[in-house]
Amino acid sequence: MSLDVRLKTRLGTVVLDVDFSAGDGVTALFGPSGAGKTSVLRAIAGLTTPRDGLIRLGGETLLDTAHGLSVAPHRRGFGVVFQEARLFPHLSVRRNLRFGSFFNKAKTTRAEFDHIVALLGIGPLLSRAPRHLSGGERQRVAIGRALLSAPRLLLMDEPLAALDEARRAEILPYLERLRDETRIPILYVSHSVAEVSRLADKVVLIDNGHVVGAGPAAETLSGASLLHGAPLRERGVVLEGRIATAQDEEGVTAVELGPTTRLRLAQEGLLPGSRVRLRIAARDVMLALKPVEGISALNSLPMRIVALHPRENRTMDVVLAGQEGLQLLAQITRVSAKALALSEGMEVQALIKSVALDR
Amino acid sequence: MIDLSFSPAEWTAMRLSLKVALVAMATSLPPALLVALALARGRFPGKALLNGLVHLPLILPPVVTGYGLLLLFGRRGPIGAFLEQSVGLVFSFRWTGAALAAAIMGFPLMVRSIRLSIEAVDQRLEEAAGTLGAAPFLVFLSITLPLCLPGLIAGMILSFAKAMGEFGATITFVSNIPGETQTLASAIYSFTQVPGGDAGALRLTLVSVALSLAALMLSEGLARLAARRIGAA
């Protein structure tokens, strides 16, 4: 089932003008804060009506401003998970979860209820009041509540943004299970590379009210648009590879990015031959003019400098290209760039301090 | 020592007061809820005027409100004559008139309390309820109404207490007829106008104080209970 969205409206000083489609699986709307992602999601949910727009799901038109058609939110059948859980304070967790099926024609069965409760691990919370839940528990209940309203599409508006790092880590595995075990298409709004690269199948990049890129997650996330749009700490690349079948002599696992390019991982228990997605943050990449000996970094790769971009806080983004189409991004200080006399076309060694594994 | 044995006339006044106050409270609840909703959420021309009209009985001398009721709802008044002919409802010099006067006087208190509690309801919750498939009216019933229950209860009890004590508008509109329109307050007034009525006036005064105090305490308690239930306290 395909969701087609075309919107044109004014948001304060920004003009929102987007056109994209999302299919099955998880589609992420990704971009910096204030880019208009949430406004797009709210328009899809029917919570706001844009000046000009067309929204279709499968063959059904939900919004067509040219013909004065706008289906009310409660008739769209889209589940929404907001940034704040928005649980109903006067109802228990169980009644919050049952709220949607009470008003929907499509009743969820007892088995479905039990399945989703188990999936999200909220069984022990059922008889509690929302005010007695932690932030992470609340958000899990909110996700369950949206799922149990039998949605045709799940819209998630930065569901983890209001939570701290530990709570985020608590919920992400549940979102992955959700993606893998339900057949509901998900539109996931986020400005976090980590979340998006871990969850999304497809990414739609939004910046300043416009779609600046769209496609499969790994390609889109490491594309040039990301390098410019993402905040300082988030910049980096996402690579796809396969766990090498043979470990090397020290027993270290390697990921094959191409026939000859491999990265070594300080992680155990990975299934040889399985496909993985790696994220390499720009600030974890160091540069050297020639191969270095006596250094703790596991990975050193020959690369060529493609571009140099001066960035905020006296830093410099260095775009690097290697063998077999490998692309990396390094973030160094401008002082170092000057000291090394870096220029475009130069051959350097990229030393990778750490590789994060996104499942 | 006060003689606490009430005379039959005093019992009648107390019963009548209770009946008038309960009827006034119950009948003003639906319109008060609508007006409070319109004032809290609505955007329409004349909103300031509606707000002013609702609050008028609070600041006008009660005798003016009573006289106004007499002009409008009296047997020859435009509304009074119409209601008598169409549904046979008569207000002037009947207990129904006392209930009307009490309802009008308590109306601003009830509207105010309900309006504030509606304004305090987080509209993002209503939005969430909508996305879960609930139509706007059902959102109101399942989310908005339960969440403003404390204010609703407080408003009802305030209106009830105001009705129990209402005097000026009532006596102007429906006079002071024992057994028909003589409420607690009018009965106390009558006692103070006749020689030897001191004991009766004191007895009814104590009853009045006790009832008012009980209503206020009940209102506090119920509002706190409801607030705890919705997780606000």
The rounded distance, in Å, linking the Cα atoms of B207 and B203 is 6
- Which of A89, A121, A116 has its CA nearest to residue A184? A116
Beta bridge partners of A321: A304, A327
Interface check B124 vs A, CB under 8 A? yes
Contacts of B138 in chain A (CB under 8 A): 103
- The DSSP code for A133 is S
Q: Which CATH class is domain A3-216?
A: alpha beta
Interface check A159 vs B, CB under 8 A? no
Domain boundaries, chain A: 3-216, 234-358
- A188 confidence band (pLDDT: 50, 70, 90): very high
The rounded distance, in Å, linking the Cα atoms of A231 and A233 is 6
Interface check A78 vs B, CB under 8 A? yes
Task: Give Rg (Cα) of chain B.
Answer: 20
SS3 label, residue A272: coil
pLDDT (0 to 100) of residue A224 = 46
Contacts of A41 in chain B (CB under 8 A): none
- Which of A41, A39, A43 has its CA nearest to residue A27? A41
Interface check B156 vs A, CB under 8 A? no
pLDDT (0 to 100) of residue A225 = 44
List the single best residue of B123, B124, B125, B131 to mutate versus A (max A Cβ within 10 A): B131
Residue pair A270/A243 in contact by the 8 Å Cβ criterion: yes
pLDDT (0 to 100) of residue B24 = 96
Residue pair B57/B135 in contact by the 8 Å Cβ criterion: no
Interface check A149 vs B, CB under 8 A? yes
Contacts of B147 in chain A (CB under 8 A): 89-90
List the single best residue of B123, B132, B152 to mutate versus A (max A Cβ within 10 A): B132
Interface check A130 vs B, CB under 8 A? yes
Interchain pair B131, A131: CB under 8 A: no
- The mean per-residue pLDDT over the stretch A182-186 comes to 88
Interface check A90 vs B, CB under 8 A? yes
pLDDT (0 to 100) of residue A233 = 61
Interface check A97 vs B, CB under 8 A? no
Per-residue pLDDT for A208 more than 90?
Answer: no
- Which of B155, B174, B169, B181 has its CA nearest to residue B17? B181
Phi, psi of A312 (to 5 degrees): -65, 165
Per-residue pLDDT for A280 more than 90?
Answer: no
What is the pTM for the complete model shown? 0.77
- A265 confidence band (pLDDT: 50, 70, 90): confident
CATH topology of domain A234-358: OB fold (Dihydrolipoamide Acetyltransferase, E2P) (2.40.50)
pLDDT in tens, A36-51: 899 999 999 999 999 9
Residue pair A276/A243 in contact by the 8 Å Cβ criterion: yes
Interface check B138 vs A, CB under 8 A? yes
Among the partner residues B127, B135, B230, nearest to A89 by beta-carbon distance: B230
Low-confidence ranges of chain B (pLDDT < 50): 233
Among the partner residues A47, A131, A145, nearest to B132 by beta-carbon distance: A145
pLDDT (0 to 100) of residue A76 = 92
Nearest C-alpha in A relative to B128 = A86
pLDDT (0 to 100) of residue A279 = 79
pLDDT (0 to 100) of residue A317 = 84
Give Cα A225 distance to the centre of its chain. Answer: 15
pLDDT higher at A4 or A293? A4
Phi, psi of A52 (to 5 degrees): -145, 120
Residue pair A233/A222 in contact by the 8 Å Cβ criterion: no
pLDDT in tens, A119-158: 888 999 999 999 999 988 999 999 999 999 989 999 999 9
Per-residue pLDDT for A227 more than 80?
Answer: no
Interchain pair B230, A90: CB under 8 A: yes
Among the partner residues B125, B133, B231, nearest to A74 by beta-carbon distance: B133
Among the partner residues B124, B131, B134, nearest to A45 by beta-carbon distance: B131
Domains and CATH numbers, chain B: 8-229 (1.10.3720.10)
Position B47, amino acid: K
Residue A188: both structure tokens together: 């996931």
Residue pair A305/A344 in contact by the 8 Å Cβ criterion: yes
Interface check B229 vs A, CB under 8 A? yes
Residue A25: both structure tokens together: 């699986």
Instruction: Establish, for the pair of chains A and B, how many residue pairs have beta carbons separated by less than 8 Å.
Output: 69
pLDDT in tens, A81-120: 999 999 999 999 999 999 998 887 667 788 889 988 998 8
Contacts of A89 in chain B (CB under 8 A): 125, 147, 230-232
- A230 confidence band (pLDDT: 50, 70, 90): low
- Spell out a b/e string for A155-192, using b for 16 or more CB atoms within 10 Å of the CB, else e: bbbbbbeebeeebbebbbebbeebbeeeebbbbbbbbb
Position B221, amino acid: G
